[in-house]
Structure 1
């Protein structure tokens, strides 16, 4: 049985597992309580971040590496085009862009906005990280003028990678244009996404709390 430790970026992993129809167990991780209170997870990932994966004798961290591992071990699957496919280069580019260019940059923006002291929330590093996010987003926007999905006309794991990052930014207040919003809607309408959201209680609770806060703010205004 495949075990996924933690949500957050682990949502990507759960979404992929649902798309592939693979059985798994999602094990909650409370990072705020500290590794000393969760020795099982501490032994899986002593660095103390999520997600982590255990599949048989294999233990892994880093969400994009986990996606590639699952696709290779449990494939072949249309979610990952083979190297000789004309879309393979775009697939690889956007698979990794979703984390390296988008989600990680927005992580800095988000942490600065929510965790930094008030006078440091719009610091140089946060502004530069937002600029990185926006320039890399331009690659997504440009590709969407050519195809419905990022590798081509078919949904792949690259879309899982990028849509996670786009939703993360959107929930943090970033406003997308029409093409990006339509793309997010196409991907999140999939049954695999909906099953993943149903399985990820913490993620679903966070999304619902944001929606309630937005609604309360609109009523107050």
Structure 2
């Protein structure tokens, strides 16, 4: 059975597993308490960050790489269009943009706003990261004005990647989503896979539910 270590970006992995109907076990990792005494987890990822998975003899880290592994190993699946599919270029672009352009940028904005000393919460790097997020979000907005999902007419793993990033931005950086993005997020939240993943990820459910706005 696949073991998923940690929530956070691990929510992407759990959501994908639910969409694919694959059995898994979610094993919590408490980063706030520190992982230096969590030897089981450190054996999987000595670098000490989440998510990670163990699948038989395979161990992997990095949420997007894990998603690509799962769709390739346990596919084919409509969640990952093939290379000859007309949806493939958009799928690949937004699958990776969800982390490289969106979630990674908001991670640094969030750190500055919530962890950094007061005098450094609006530093140059945080403003730069927010600028990167904003420009990449414009690509998502433009795409959603053309199609209901990022790869076109059907839901794919690219929507899991970006959907998580937008939830992260909403909660941890107070990003107000526009009408197009709000309607998109409403579509994602209605999916059974999303709802089952949120039910499984107790910390994530509490974290997102504590936000005062769905925007």
Q: Which residue of 2 aligns with 1:191?
A: 192
**Is 1:11 aligned with 2:30?**
no
- Report the CA distance between 1:163 and its aligned residue: 0.5
- Report the CA distance between 1:208 and its aligned residue: 2.6
Greater share of helix? 1
Q: Equivalents in 2 of 1:135, 1:121: separation in Å? A: 21
Q: How does 1:103-122 map to 2 (within 5 A)?
A: 103-122=103-122
Q: Which residue of 2 aligns with 1:217?
A: none
Q: Which residue of 1 aligns with 2:53?
A: 53
Per-residue Cα deviation, 1:157-182 (whole angstroms, up to 9, x for no partner): 00000000001001131001100100
Contact 2:29 2:35 in 1 (8 A): no
Q: TM-score normalized by structure 2?
A: 0.97
SS in 2 for 1:31: coil
SS in 2 for 1:163: helix
**Is 1:62 aligned with 2:67?**
no
Structure 2 unmatched ranges of 5 or more:
none
- Report the CA distance between 1:32 and its aligned residue: 2.1
Q: TM-score normalized by structure 1?
A: 0.94
Q: How does 1:87-126 map to 2 (within 5 A)?
A: 87-126=87-126
Q: How many residues align?
A: 212
Per-residue Cα deviation, 1:68-95 (whole angstroms, up to 9, x for no partner): 0000000011100010001100000000
Q: How does 1:22-61 map to 2 (within 5 A)?
A: 22-61=22-61
Q: Please tell me whether Structure 1 or Structure 2 has the larger radius of gyration of its CA atoms.
A: 1
